[in-house]
Amino acid sequence: MGVWGVVGDETGVHRVCLPHETGPQTSGEVPAPVIDAARQLHEFFQGRRRDFDVVRSAVRATTFQYDVWNALEQIPFGEVRTYAEVADAVGRPRAMRAVGNANHANPWPILVPCHRVVAKGGLGGYGGGAEVKRFLLNLEGRSL
């Protein structure tokens, strides 16, 4: 599905770049958290990893966004939740659209599995596009 990138420093991973995005070029030694995240993502794409243990740097975000991202991490490998179910999980049952916006703002796709959130009637959106979302769900044994 293309080249994914990892951006970070010694404090942790700042973001994961989707295949259509470009991150800054590396100059010098690659920080350990970036190497670790890249290795774990490689294992995921090879079907050898289901969850992640990556040091992530704090990013500027709202409390609601962090609540949504924490809820996403609770969705098990191979399972999906609807935007409404995630909204319920964060105590904001009418905030389905806000959940979608928080997913779109997620700086760590795959590590924080926003691809596991789907619309009530189907796939729903994804910052990397529908084809990438289907690929990731298929990798986890789901087809939509």
Domain residue spans of the chain: 63-139
Percent of the chain whose pLDDT exceeds 70: 100
pLDDT level of residue 38 (50, 70, 90 thresholds): very high
Q: How confident is the model over 87-97, as a mean pLDDT?
A: 97
Residue 97, pLDDT > 90, answer yes
> Cβ-count burial of 1 within 10 angstroms (0-12 exposed, 13-18 middle, 19+ buried)?
middle
Task: Tell me the one-letter amino acid at 40.
Answer: Q
pLDDT digits 0-9 by tens, 64-84? 999 999 999 999 999 999 999
Half-sphere exposure of residue 10: CA atoms within 13 angstroms, side-chain side: 2
Task: Write down the mean pLDDT value for the chain.
Answer: 95
Residue 27, pLDDT > 90, answer no
Whole-prediction pTM: 0.93
Structure tokens at 114: 């926003």
CA 90/CA 48 separation, integer angstroms = 30
Q: Which CATH number fits domain 63-139: 3.40.50.300, 2.30.38.10, 1.20.1440.230, 1.10.10.10?
A: 1.10.10.10
Residue 28: per-residue pLDDT: 83
pLDDT level of residue 20 (50, 70, 90 thresholds): confident
Q: How confident is the model over 73-101, as a mean pLDDT?
A: 97
pLDDT level of residue 24 (50, 70, 90 thresholds): confident
Residues recognised as catalytic: 114
